[in-house]
Amino acid sequence: MLLSLRGVSKSFGAVHALQDVDLDVLAGKVTALVGDNGAGKSTLVKTVAGTWQPTSGEIFWKDQRTSIRTPRDADALGIATVYQDLALCDNLDIVQNMFLGHERLRFRLLDENAMERAARGTLAELSVTTVRSVRQLVASLSGGQRQSVAVARAVMRDAQLVIMDEPTAALGVSQTAQVLALIRTLADRGIGVLLISHNLNDVFSVADRIAVLYLGRLVHSGDVAGYTPQRVVEIITTGTLATAAT
Amino acid sequence: MSIEAPGPPRPLAAPSEPELETLVFDETLSTYLRQTLQKIRGGQTGVLPLLVGLGIVVIVFQLKASLFLSNQNLANLLTQASFIIVLGFAEVWVLLLGEIDLSVGYNAGIAGALMALMSSAPYNLPWFVAILIGLAASAIIGMLIGAFVILLRLPSFIVSLAFYLALYGVLLKIVALDNYNGSITLSSSKLIGLVQANLPTTAGLIVVIAAVVGASILTVLRDRRRRASGSEVVPFAITAAKVLGLAAAGALLLFVCNANRGVFGIVEGITYAVPIFMGILVLWSFLLARTRFGRNIYAIGGNAEAARRAGVSLGWNRLWAFTLAGLTAGAGGVLYTSANGGATGNIDTNLVLYAVASAVIGGVSLFGGRGKMFHALLGGLFIATIYNGILLIGYDAAVQSIVIGVVLLAGVSVEALSRRRQARS
Ligand SMILES: Nc1ncnc2c1ncn2[C@@H]1O[C@H](COP(=O)(O)OP(=O)(O)OP(=O)(O)O)[C@@H](O)[C@H]1O
Ligand SMILES: [Mg+2]
């Protein structure tokens, strides 16, 4: 087990965004986390990414109890995250954003050439060919291009767990296919992927396991083979399965 | 040519091969110029309005007062500009974070007063020790301001306003110590000489040539390394133009300063203030552009939450930036005090705020994350030009203040308009 949450809760004042959530993410598998708007998916992501601390509950990394207090802790464990809001700096260029917090150094100074080469390579792998220059400011990119940069930024790390909060929401058809293919590749390389998506087609085409959040509770989880899109929709909207599986 | 053997049909939607070529920057000069023109039309004007403004102002002053472009006045202008520029450098550190420090002027005053005090009886410390004490005090004050802003999450505007008021009082107290009666005269010729003495002309010539040649070689080498590594580069013509511009600035500096400008005796050479502020410019620009710390400062100013999630320590980086702002303010104070031959409590209150103005007029964004040290150099020169020219024409401090106020307003308006234009395009 790469990452396990046990009884994790997170409250914002009176709002219980997460309640008693148990979730397992396996290495080499794509775990899809689905749920309606406001179900608590992004809250869960940020809890694991160290953006904030859970109100209660335990997090296990490789079966060891751990606490992820800061984004740096998550990074040190080997967790890379694509946030729903992308978390990019508009005033920096693509390369600078992709390496923010992980700049390559040479004689303790920024090694811009090495970073630019690596960034260009990763973008090419993702077939991001529509950007004019990797040295243009992120402010000047389209929504989809920004999302591509955020995804590239996360997969460029040698992470063991990659969390993606709606990584394809703004992407075109071919870029989406590219990102899904990449997610598969990551998993096949033995990396754990936690994918949040509203697109069940994507989920069913790429995920191995599925977990459903409903109003902050994790109401269902298991192998994707045990579900159909119709059943998942029902769980997402009602929180339970009224009709027995046939 | 061979006929392909029939085989299984190729999958239609095979992921395409990575197309590296399409990412490579088109580096021909005409494309570059076209894109630059587009940028300017789109509102990213850079320092262009400032340079145009500076040109206009220089012409107007010269028409009104023929002495304006005399060697003597230009050398004088450079001296006046030196501390405005250095205070501007100080302000850049905090502006880049999206913060502001209104107190750099009086923080500078403290450094100057301490330096004057420590180099005089009864302390009689060596001149460089006196300078270090002044600089250290200013750095600590900067750090304190930062600590209040960071730990208590107070707006830097209010914290630095409080320091502005308090430091003024402290300054008055220092210059009243030991019955100094409001002013401490510098006795060390070294300290006075920082701004008032000039480099011997040959030394000045060598220093300027060495600096220009050195910078040019570094620029060209860097350019070549980038080309070799396949990084995006500006067209060579642009690099060459930059080198030429630098050489022209150096030549102008020598032309103005190395000529005899004395009326009664021989006065010639570049004031020591110039290599001092140029040194600070190079050092701080290097920190900002080439180190992780500098990158963090820009990231925090651009999107603090994104920087935090990327693992950047907001607290430490901001604290260091505030400290460096204080330190730089101290350096400005050392120059100011040297230029005046001593420390007093009545620093021109306007001068105190020119720091903010010069950085902003130069093009550093008030909203954080955008701007360079170089911008404070240009802004400082601009303000010093107005400061100097208005008095030369014969107007008084009132007019001077009004004009600089209007220029500042114009400067931020241009920035705001270009932002709107950028947002629309
Ligand atoms: N910083 C916050 N402060 C207060 N409440 C918050 C905060 N972040 C999230 N919430 C609340 O927590 C709940 C879950 O939000 P979350 O962003 O995790 O939903 P989500 O499942 O990611 O939704 P979406 O599909 O729209 O992205 C919502 O009710 C939201 O209002
Ligand atoms: Mg969300």
Query: B189-201: per-residue pLDDT in tens?
Result: 899 989 888 999 9
As a whole number, mean pLDDT of residues A84-109 equals: 95
Tell me, yes or no, whether B383 and B335 share the same domain. Answer: yes
User: How high is the pLDDT of residue B45?
Assistant: 66
Interface of A with B (CB under 8 A): 49, 51, 70-72, 75, 81, 83, 87-92, 96, 100-103, 105, 108-110, 112-114, 116-117, 120-121, 123-125, 127, 129, 131-135, 139, 174, 177-178, 181
pLDDT classification of B354: cutoffs 50, 70, 90: confident
Closest CA to B325 of B88, B85, B35: B88
As a whole number, mean pLDDT of residues B79-95 equals: 95
User: How high is the pLDDT of residue B49?
Assistant: 81
Residues of B in contact with A94 (CB under 8 A): none
Cβ–Cβ of B232/A51 closer than 8 Å?
no
Is B17 within a domain? no
Residue pair B195/B265 in contact by the 8 Å Cβ criterion: no
Closest approach of chain B CAs to the CA of A185, in angstroms? 13
Is B50 within a domain? no
Classify residue A137 by its DSSP letter: B
Cβ neighbours of A134 (radius 10 Å):
23
Evaluate if residue A244 carries a pLDDT over 70.
Answer: no
User: How high is the pLDDT of residue B424?
Assistant: 61
As a whole number, mean pLDDT of residues B95-114 equals: 96
Tell me, yes or no, whether B131 and B215 share the same domain. Answer: no
Q: Any alpha helices (H) in B104-235, and if so which ranges?
A: 104-119, 127-151, 156-174, 189-196, 201-229
CA distance between the termini of chain A? 31
Evaluate if residue B260 carries a pLDDT over 50.
Answer: yes
Q: pLDDT exceeding 90 applies to what percent of chain A?
A: 78
**Residue corresponding to tokens 């750095």:** B139
* Of the residues B270, B294, B320, the one at which a domain ends: B270
Query: A156-186: per-residue pLDDT in tens?
Result: 988 999 999 999 988 888 889 888 988 998 8
Residue pair B413/B360 in contact by the 8 Å Cβ criterion: no
Query: A114-158: per-residue pLDDT in tens?
Result: 999 999 999 988 877 778 889 999 998 888 889 889 999 998 988
Q: How far is the CA of A48 from the centre of ligand 1 (A)?
A: 15
Tell me, yes or no, whether B321 and B382 share the same domain. Answer: yes
pLDDT classification of B397: cutoffs 50, 70, 90: confident
Cβ–Cβ of B22/A70 closer than 8 Å?
no
Best of A43, A166, A195, A213 to mutate for ligand 1, by most ligand atoms within 8 A of CB? A43
* Of the residues B270, B291, B318, the one at which a domain ends: B270
Residue pair B343/B191 in contact by the 8 Å Cβ criterion: no
Q: How far is the CA of A43 from the centre of ligand 1 (A)?
A: 6
Beta-carbon contacts of residue B231 (< 8 Å; ≥ 6 apart): A112, A113, A116, A117
Residue type, position B91, single letter? E
Is B19 within a domain? no
- B229 touching A, CB under 8 A? yes
Q: pLDDT exceeding 90 applies to what percent of chain B?
A: 61
* Of the residues B270, B301, B316, the one at which a domain ends: B270
* Side-chain half-sphere exposure of B328, counting CA atoms within 13 A: 33
Residue pair B128/B68 in contact by the 8 Å Cβ criterion: no
Query: B18-50: per-residue pLDDT in tens?
Result: 334 334 444 577 877 887 787 777 666 678 888
HEC string for B344-411: ECCCCHHHHHHHHHHHHHHCCCCCCCCCCHHHHHHHHHHHHHHHHHHHHHCCCHHHHHHHHHHHHHHH
User: How high is the pLDDT of residue B181?
Assistant: 83
Tell me, yes or no, whether B211 and B233 share the same domain. Answer: yes
pLDDT classification of B378: cutoffs 50, 70, 90: very high
Lookup: tokens for A36: 């309606």
Tell me, yes or no, whether B299 and B344 share the same domain. Answer: yes
Residue nearest to atom 24 of ligand 1 (CA): A37
As a whole number, mean pLDDT of residues B385-412 equals: 88
What ipTM was predicted for this assembly? 0.92
Distance CA A80, CA A48 (A): 10
Number of domains, chain B: 2
Distance CA A91, CA B296 (A): 12
User: How high is the pLDDT of residue B2?
Assistant: 44
Closest CA to A3 of A79, A100, A113, A99: A79
CATH number of the domain bearing residue B320: 1.10.3470
Tell me, yes or no, whether B206 and B316 share the same domain. Answer: no
Cβ–Cβ of B25/A101 closer than 8 Å?
no
Tell me, yes or no, whether B250 and B353 share the same domain. Answer: no
Tell me, yes or no, whether B264 and B336 share the same domain. Answer: no
Distance CA B58, CA B375 (A): 19
Tell me, yes or no, whether B240 and B261 share the same domain. Answer: yes
Residue type, position A14, single letter? A
Distance CA B314, CA B332 (A): 27
Lookup: tokens for B245: 């511009």
Residue pair B273/B94 in contact by the 8 Å Cβ criterion: no
**Residue corresponding to tokens 């598969």:** A184
- B31 touching A, CB under 8 A? no
Is B414 within a domain? no
Beta-carbon contacts of residue B417 (< 8 Å; ≥ 6 apart): B43
What is A45-74 written as a DSSP string? HHHHHTSS--SEEEEEETTEEE---SHHHH
Q: pLDDT exceeding 70 applies to what percent of chain B?
A: 92
Cβ–Cβ of A127/B226 closer than 8 Å?
no
Residue type, position A201, single letter? N
Distance CA B115, CA B338 (A): 10
Query: B212-258: per-residue pLDDT in tens?
Result: 999 999 999 999 999 998 888 888 888 899 899 999 999 999 999 99
Distance CA A149, CA B18 (A): 16
Residue pair B300/B317 in contact by the 8 Å Cβ criterion: yes
Long-range contacts of A166-174 (CB under 8 A, 24+ apart): A166/A84, A166/A196, A166/A197, A166/A198, A167/A82, A167/A195, A167/A197, A168/A197, A168/A199, A168/A202, A169/A84, A169/A198, A170/A143, A170/A144, A170/A146, A171/A144, A171/A147, A172/A144, A174/A127, A174/B16
User: How high is the pLDDT of residue B29?
Assistant: 77
User: How high is the pLDDT of residue A243?
Assistant: 57
Tell me, yes or no, whether B68 and B163 share the same domain. Answer: yes
Phi, psi angle pair for A104, to nearest 5°: -85, 135
As a whole number, mean pLDDT of residues B100-107 equals: 95
Q: Which one of B16, B230, B370 has the shortest CB-CB distance to A117?
A: B230
**Residue corresponding to tokens 């880049």:** B96
Rg of chain B over all Cα atoms, to the nearest angstrom: 25
Cβ–Cβ of B309/A51 closer than 8 Å?
yes
- B306 touching A, CB under 8 A? yes
Residue nearest to atom 26 of ligand 1 (CA): A37
Residue pair A197/A32 in contact by the 8 Å Cβ criterion: yes
Average pLDDT, chain B: 88
Distance CA B392, CA B64 (A): 9
Q: Which one of B15, B303, B310 has the shortest CB-CB distance to A127?
A: B15
Of B391 and B306, the one with more pLDDT: B306
Q: How far is the CA of A47 from the centre of ligand 2 (A)?
A: 12
Tell me, yes or no, whether B125 and B204 share the same domain. Answer: no
Which atom of ligand 1 sits closest to the CA of residue A13? Answer: 4
Closest approach of chain B CAs to the CA of A44, in angstroms? 15
Cβ–Cβ of A100/B310 closer than 8 Å?
yes
Q: Residue B252 is part of which domain span?
A: 198-270
HEC string for A166-184: CCCCCCCHHHHHHHHHHHH
Residue pair B135/B330 in contact by the 8 Å Cβ criterion: yes
**Residue corresponding to tokens 């060596």:** B126
Evaluate if residue B204 carries a pLDDT over 60.
Answer: yes
Closest approach of chain A CAs to the CA of B74, in angstroms? 37
pLDDT classification of B6: cutoffs 50, 70, 90: very low
Closest CA to A81 of A163, A194, A147: A163
Q: Any alpha helices (H) in B21-126, and if so which ranges?
A: 29-41, 48-64, 71-96, 104-119
Is B56 within a domain? no
Tell me, yes or no, whether B111 and B216 share the same domain. Answer: no
Phi, psi angle pair for A10, to nearest 5°: -145, 125
Is B35 within a domain? no
Q: Which one of A51, A87, A91 has the shortest CB-CB distance to B370?
A: A91
Closest approach of chain A CAs to the CA of B187, in angstroms? 42
Is B133 within a domain? yes
Q: Could you tell me whether strands A192-196 and A161-165 are parallel, antiparallel, or unpaired per DSSP bridges?
A: parallel
User: How high is the pLDDT of residue A144?
Assistant: 86
Is B181 within a domain? yes
Of B268 and B320, the one with more pLDDT: B320
Residue pair B95/B157 in contact by the 8 Å Cβ criterion: no
CATH of segment(s) A3-238: 3.40.50.300
Residues of B in contact with A87 (CB under 8 A): 303, 305-306, 309-310
As a whole number, mean pLDDT of residues B118-132 equals: 93
User: How high is the pLDDT of residue B3?
Assistant: 45
Lookup: tokens for B57: 């102002």
What is A21-39 written as a DSSP string? EEEEE-TT-EEEEEE-TTS
